Amino acid sequence: MKKYLSKSKRKVFIEYILLDGVNDDLKNARELINYLRSIGYPHLLHMNLIVFNPPQRIIESPFKPSSRNQARKFQEFLKSNGFNATIRKSLGQDIQGACGQLAGKSCLSADRQIS
């Protein structure tokens, strides 16, 4: 990514899925900031924060979505350290069409075929 940014000078959007109790606290945000700083070009990096969309009714997931409050804290911490960050609005969750949910049925079908 560093090489791409140095040559292109074009903005890069990084998707970051927030999982409750896994990668959504300020310690995780600090680790992410350290990584982003190692890349350089903070003005060209934009974090899209996505609250996890559990695949309801298809498969049981051990992961839970971060709260909106926790997502905002994570976002504000990134911003206060000079990084652009947006919390993505999730649409389609009611019909299992939100980010990360569309693969659920096909993955489950593939597992059944392998068994």
Q: Quote the pLDDT of residue 105.
A: 54
Q: Quote the pLDDT of residue 63.
A: 86
CATH architecture of the region 2-114: Alpha-Beta Barrel (3.20)
**How far is residue 36's CA from residue 79's CA, in Å, rounded to a whole number?**
13
Domain boundaries of the chain, sorted by first residue: 2-114
Q: What is the mean pLDDT of the chain?
A: 83
Amino acid identity at 41: Y
87: left (phi over 0), alpha (psi -120 to 50) or beta: beta
Residue 21 clears pLDDT 60, i.e. is over it:
yes
Whole-prediction pTM value? 0.76
Q: Quote the pLDDT of residue 95.
A: 46
Q: What is the pLDDT of residues 25-78, one digit of tens each?
A: 999 999 999 999 999 999 999 999 999 887 766 567 788 999 999 999 999 999
Give residues with Cβ within 8 angstroms of 41, minimum separation 6.
2, 5, 6
Residue 113: pLDDT band with limits 50, 70, 90: very low
Alpha helices, DSSP H, located in 1-115: 2-8, 26-39, 68-80, 103-114
